[in-house]
Structure 1
Amino acid sequence: MNGDRAHPLLQQTALSVNPFVDLPKAPTLPHNYASIPSTLPPSIVNSPPVQSNPELPAYVTSSSGFAAHPRTIISQSKSLLEQIEKQRKDAQRQVNEWEQSMRDRELAEKRRKAPGWLDTEDRILQPEKPKAEMADPGISLMDEPAEAGVPDAPRRDKQVDDLGAAMDRAFGRSELG
């Protein structure tokens, strides 16, 4: 814009009135209206100090009579947070100790039921591997050992005899008859 003159494009635009726009009106004052006092009250920044912290003015006041400086309130809030955090850590430590004592009691009960078993760190039993399996890992336990030139019947009888001898060693010899 140049001084009082409008832009040439704006001069060519037609002016229209919007029925939805209301112009502001002067407010109606209530009957109990009181004007603002001509003098302001004294600043609370220069208020007298409280007994809890005499160096700082107590300009945060409540209706109950509590008065303090914001730094005092912040320091009290921080100390309250520290106390709550300490109590939370103590409670967590007590819960952990309680859970550990429960685990210890359960382990002691299990040791009474199976003495010697839970006294060592060896908790997994593994059978010893036969010597033949250790020599050739490609042989399955389900496979029968193949002997060259021997028919199947004697080999099965030998296996039955071995099984009977193993049972006699385990349970003692029993005589039928």
Structure 2
Amino acid sequence: MTSRTTSTSHLLSQIPLLASPHISLPSAVTLPYSYQTLPHGLPPPSTGSGAGEGYIVSPSGAVSQTPEAVQHSIHTLLSHIQSERSEAEEAWNTWERGIQERELMEKRRVAPGWLDTGVTILEPARAGGAGGREDMRAAGMVDEAQDSASTEEGNQLDQVFGKMAV
């Protein structure tokens, strides 16, 4: 072991030590004249004979209560906190339900009737064309008067804007 110690000290002796101007060694602290040591034991009990036996006295001595009164005030405070918490949770749930309802109304506005049915894929109905109009006429959704009026409107639009190829 001695050979290791000498080799380590030999290595350490080769490293130069510099004193930094930014680092100062710790110095002794001067205590104030009003310094008092902390007591080694426990402080006197708060249930002293000053306000009567069985009372809890505040450190200032201004308030004294029985332990039952302290327990009652704690239970009252706990019940108040629990009621406040339940009201806050109810308000939170109402707020979240409102958000979900607004999102659902927005979705229904974009795709009316889609969310109310079990259909998961939207398929556009063929508008115009002989097959679509004939199917609607056969189902009784379009009567002859509407059909002739829409055909007449279509012809007028074709005259004004030119015929569109479908």
Q: TM-score, normalised by structure 1?
A: 0.38
Determine which structure has more spread, i.e. the larger CA radius of gyration: 1
Structure with the greater relative contact order (CA < 8 A, sep ≥ 6): 1 or 2? 1
Q: Which has the higher helix share?
A: 2
Task: Tell me the TM-score normalised to structure 2 length.
Answer: 0.40
